[in-house]
């Protein structure tokens, strides 16, 4: 496949992945599909939203920092002013930006899965429920023990909610990482050899 066509294909594939990261991160602010927890958290009360959600890995990292390179990479693959060696050279830098963003989202997603959600749970030491992260010290072992998920009383089904959305974020950012890394190599070849589109190699 020509480097120009390959860049265009990579750019198109990055769009839905970046959108998925943004949507998943936003949804994570509304456990149990309610806005009240985010509102309470913003008022400076006890943490109601999982801290990894507030790192904005999906919006900033896997979203904006990948979406901007995706637009440039997509345009680089088209014939015209961007489809040349200079455009392919610039795509290397933009792809590196995408790699950094995707890696940030990937790491935050792993932490979100390992530490588990913030919720109102029944402590083994105290008789009254309290807000916190009951699975934070389990090194992610709770993921293999669904029976323990009922420790979280509020928000309802918050563990399932976080696991599903953070898993989607993890997969999406992982694919973004691979695609942006591949485009760095593709951009290097395109810079050296040209984009070889249908009208001939671009100089």
Higher local confidence (pLDDT), 1 or 181: 181
Question: How confident is the model at residue 202, as a pLDDT?
Answer: 41
Percent of the chain past pLDDT 70, that is, above it, reads 90
CA dihedral 156, 158, 159, 162 (to 10 degrees): 160
Decide if pLDDT at 111 tops 90: yes
Whole-angstrom Cα distance, residue 189 to residue 181? Answer: 13
With contact defined as beta carbons under 8 Å apart, do 59 and 101 qualify?
no
Q: Which residue has the tokens 């480097």?
A: 3
With contact defined as beta carbons under 8 Å apart, do 159 and 149 qualify?
yes
Judged by average pLDDT, the poorest of 46-50, 52-56, 130-134, 154-158 is 46-50
CA dihedral 92, 93, 99, 105 (to 10 degrees): -150
**Full strand arrangement of the beta sheet holding 152-154:** 129-132, 119-122, 152-154
User: Residue 18, exposed/middle/buried by CB under 10 A (0-12, 13-18, 19+)?
Assistant: buried
Whole-angstrom Cα distance, residue 199 to residue 46? Answer: 62
């Amino acid at each position: 496949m020509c480097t120009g066509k390959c860049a265009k294909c990579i750019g198109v594939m990055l769009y839905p992945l970046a959108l998925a990261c943004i949507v998943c991160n936003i949804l994570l602010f509304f456990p149990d599909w309610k806005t009240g927890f985010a509102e309470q958290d913003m008022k400076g009360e006890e943490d109601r939203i999982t801290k990894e959600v507030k790192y904005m890995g999906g919006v900033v990292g896997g979203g904006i920092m990948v979406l901007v390179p995706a637009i440039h990479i997509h345009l680089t693959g088209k014939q015209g002013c961007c489809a040349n060696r200079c455009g392919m050279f610039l795509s290397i830098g933009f792809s590196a930006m995408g790699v950094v963003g995707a890696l940030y989202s990937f790491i935050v997603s792993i932490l979100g899965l390992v530490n588990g959600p913030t919720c109102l749970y029944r402590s083994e030491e105290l008789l009254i429920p309290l807000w916190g992260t009951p699975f934070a010290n389990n090194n992610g072992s709770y993921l293999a023990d669904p029976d323990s998920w009922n420790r979280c009383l509020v928000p309802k089904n918050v563990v399932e909610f976080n696991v599903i959305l953070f898993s989607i974020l993890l997969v999406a950012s992982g694919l973004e990482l691979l695609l942006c890394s591949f485009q760095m190599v593709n951009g290097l070849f395109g810079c050296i050899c040209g984009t070889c589109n249908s009208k001939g190699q671009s100089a």
